[in-house]
């Protein structure tokens, strides 16, 4: 009996609360006079044509640009720094690297006879002999020589190298008396 009494009580409360709700008029005429002020939150932008005209009026003429002067100074400093550096970084094609002297000389001679336009250089770095071709600023330049050589010399590879600058004059030579 208690359960049925509680059930009737809950049902009465539900029906009573639903009866108090009133359906509103939801036609478009009810919202006809609705206005909302968003002017405080909307971002406004200046007129683009006025901004361009103001920028053009303030811009200096081509001869007055400070960037040209700064660029010339920077380029001169860069050139002087490069001239004062004894070495430069680049790439070369290493054709042979090994301890056999006869093979190194044979490889060098083969390169001289078969590839006349290539500058061949042979070095001895104890305990190995190195046969190199070319001096290139970047790896892409070395690719052309590498592709010509790789069929006949399968162990050829492109390696980074430091080269001494031609015509380098030491600005502060150390005299024998100073050592």
Question: Mind listing the pLDDT tens digit for each residue in 121-176?
Answer: 999 988 999 999 999 989 999 999 999 899 999 999 999 998 877 766 666 667 66
* d(C-alpha 96, C-alpha 133), whole Å: 10
Question: Mind listing the pLDDT tens digit for each residue in 114-127?
Answer: 888 888 999 998 89
What are the distances in angstroms from CA 8 to CA 1, 15, 66, 103?
Answer: 11, 11, 91, 109
pTM: 0.51
Under 8 Å CB-to-CB from 98, ≥6 apart: which residues?
A: 104, 128, 129
Mean pLDDT across the stretch 41-67?
72
């Amino acid at each position: 009996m208690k359960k049925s009494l509680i059930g009737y009580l809950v049902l009465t409360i539900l029906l009573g609360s639903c009866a108090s709700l009133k359906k509103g008029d939801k036609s478009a005429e009810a919202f006809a006079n609705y206005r909302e002020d968003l002017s405080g939150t909307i971002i406004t932008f200046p007129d683009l044509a006025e901004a361009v005209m103001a920028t053009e009026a303030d811009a200096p003429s081509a001869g007055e640009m400070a960037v040209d002067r700064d660029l010339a100074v920077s380029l001169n400093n860069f050139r002087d720094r490069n001239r004062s550096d004894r070495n430069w970084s680049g790439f070369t094609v290493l054709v042979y690297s090994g301890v056999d002297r006869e093979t190194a000389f044979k490889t060098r001679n083969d390169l001289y006879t078969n590839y006349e336009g290539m500058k061949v250089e042979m070095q001895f770095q104890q305990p190995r002999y190195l046969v190199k071709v070319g001096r290139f600023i970047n790896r892409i330049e070395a690719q052309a020589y590498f592709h010509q050589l790789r069929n006949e010399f399968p162990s050829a590879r492109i390696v980074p190298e430091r080269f001494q600058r031609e015509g380098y004059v030491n600005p502060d030579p150390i005299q024998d008396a100073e050592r």
